[in-house]
Amino acid sequence: MPPRDHWSSRLGFVLAAAGSAIGLGNVWKFPYITGVYGGGAFVLVYLAAVALVGIPILVAEILIGRRARKDPVGAMRAVGGRAWAGVGWLGVGASFVILSYYSVVAGWTLAYAARAASGGFTGLDAAAISTLFDAFLADPTRQLFWHACFMALVIAIVVGGVAKGLERWNKVLMPALVAILLVLFVVALRSPGAAAGFRFMFHADFHKLTPKAWLEALGHSFFTLSLGMGAMLTYGSYLSTKTDLLRSAVVIAVFDALMALVAGLVIFPICFTFGLQPAAGPGLIFKTLPVAFAQMHGGSLFALLFFLLLAFAALTSAISLLEVAVAYFVDERGWPRPRATLGMGGVIFLLGIPSALSFSRLAHVHLYPGMTLFDSLDTLATNYLLPIGGLGIALVAGWRLARPVALEEFRDPRLFPYWHLAIRYLAPVAVVLILLFKMGVVG
């Protein structure tokens, strides 16, 4: 067996973990739910959820991974005992489910970037752009083509390994992502809708803050930090014991929250400048924003930048999802990395085909009533698999891992008691609330 791969630097790890966290959840979902749940007040609750629940679970995942130096199944078994390996299994299973449909949406962002590059939105009106998106969804060939392209990119990066694949590409893609976001931010700041956009996001209307909004904020703090399925655990398993774990986790969470806030401050001013509906939901990115790009001076360039931003964000998240499956086959089954990457990447591509066709040939297939297969998988993963996995991780870190052993992983022992309280009580209670809420028992 060759020695286990690891990050070559703390920066490499932080960029890769931030790359996993910063994804479609930041650029698309966060701005949209912020609009629905009352702007500023929701933002405050979301930030509190990240600090009180998100960061403690993030620390727990990295800590379990670093302690065990194994994939999620092996790590949960080593740290929690045999019975807890099931939580790792759930995580590996979730990585297949999530990546299979995540890759389909990521394919849309590639397709739109390609269209923008050829000036394909110029001069179109809102109706034409809407038709364009619907026709694209209904075309099986194009869906599969872009899904295949995206998975090929993910496989090509992951096959290179931790330092020479994941780390090297995150070091290129993450700075590019930040640069693109800042260029778009300047454009948005100079647009006539800037003031309205800022007001929309930061004006705190506490009346809209229903119990549902609190739980939505909690659930999103989870999804956006890639928690609950061992992605951060796997990244932690390649981390040097010299790195300050808590500090890295805080940097990752702050970076992730900042990118979500800036994404909102790009999208809302553009919406208000062109009189578009900010709470348009899933269509916001593909139907609403291209309308603005079609009218804007230099719109084709900004459209290209925006869809590249989305593609990069999706790519750095997707590689963390494939890495979970690969780590399992490498660590537990002793497969060589190329076989695990090509094999599992291929399996995930095949699993994604029904999602890709769920807007055309398979539109009549439902798991949940009234939902496409694509939406059903998203619901299954985010509502059940991730919270259950997160609960297991919190319980193992808080109750199965001996206190002195956990304490060793903290550079500053004064901060340890706060984390320990949060991971033993606060996080499990919060996750159980999310689960009950998603099952419709409360809220």
In the complex, the smallest distance separating the C-beta of residue 105 from ligand TRP, rounded to whole angstroms, is 10
Measured from the CB atom, the residue of 106 and 291 that comes closer to ligand TRP is 106
Q: How far apart are CA 232 and CA 230, in angstroms?
A: 5
In the complex, the smallest distance separating the C-beta of residue 5 from ligand TRP, rounded to whole angstroms, is 19
Q: How far apart are CA 189 and CA 176, in angstroms?
A: 20
In the complex, the smallest distance separating the C-beta of residue 317 from ligand TRP, rounded to whole angstroms, is 4
In the complex, the smallest distance separating the C-beta of residue 378 from ligand TRP, rounded to whole angstroms, is 11
Residues 6+ away with beta carbon under 8 Å from 43: 34, 201, 202, 204, 261
In the complex, the smallest distance separating the C-beta of residue 26 from ligand TRP, rounded to whole angstroms, is 5
Measured from the CB atom, the residue of 262 and 294 that comes closer to ligand TRP is 262
In the complex, the smallest distance separating the C-beta of residue 119 from ligand TRP, rounded to whole angstroms, is 29
Measured from the CB atom, the residue of 124 and 258 that comes closer to ligand TRP is 258
In the complex, the smallest distance separating the C-beta of residue 102 from ligand TRP, rounded to whole angstroms, is 7
Measured from the CB atom, the residue of 58 and 201 that comes closer to ligand TRP is 58
Q: How far apart are CA 348 and CA 324, in angstroms?
A: 12
Measured from the CB atom, the residue of 231 and 304 that comes closer to ligand TRP is 231
Measured from the CB atom, the residue of 23 and 39 that comes closer to ligand TRP is 23
C-alpha closest to that of 57 among 266, 233, 194, 211:
233
C-alpha closest to that of 150 among 105, 103, 118, 80:
103
Measured from the CB atom, the residue of 100 and 320 that comes closer to ligand TRP is 320
In the complex, the smallest distance separating the C-beta of residue 25 from ligand TRP, rounded to whole angstroms, is 2
Measured from the CB atom, the residue of 79 and 90 that comes closer to ligand TRP is 90
C-alpha closest to that of 424 among 27, 16, 59:
59
Residue given tokens 């774990």 in the structure block: 245
Please give the residue ranges that form the binding site for ligand TRP (CB under 6 A): 20-21, 23-26, 223-224, 226, 228-229, 231, 317, 320-321, 386
In the complex, the smallest distance separating the C-beta of residue 1 from ligand TRP, rounded to whole angstroms, is 27
C-alpha closest to that of 325 among 101, 15, 91, 138:
91
Q: Give 413: exposed, middle or buried? Use CB within 10 Å, 0-12, 13-18, 19+.
A: exposed
Query: Is 396 within 8 Å of 78 (Cβ atoms)?
Result: no
Query: Is 106 within 8 Å of 318 (Cβ atoms)?
Result: yes
Measured from the CB atom, the residue of 87 and 386 that comes closer to ligand TRP is 386
In the complex, the smallest distance separating the C-beta of residue 365 from ligand TRP, rounded to whole angstroms, is 24
Measured from the CB atom, the residue of 18 and 296 that comes closer to ligand TRP is 18
In the complex, the smallest distance separating the C-beta of residue 80 from ligand TRP, rounded to whole angstroms, is 19
Query: Is 153 within 8 Å of 322 (Cβ atoms)?
Result: no
Measured from the CB atom, the residue of 318 and 396 that comes closer to ligand TRP is 318
Instruction: Give the bridge partners for 39, in sequence order.
Output: 204
In the complex, the smallest distance separating the C-beta of residue 411 from ligand TRP, rounded to whole angstroms, is 26
C-alpha closest to that of 33 among 174, 192, 185, 200:
200
**Residue 186 carries which side chain, given as an amino acid letter?**
V
Measured from the CB atom, the residue of 23 and 72 that comes closer to ligand TRP is 23
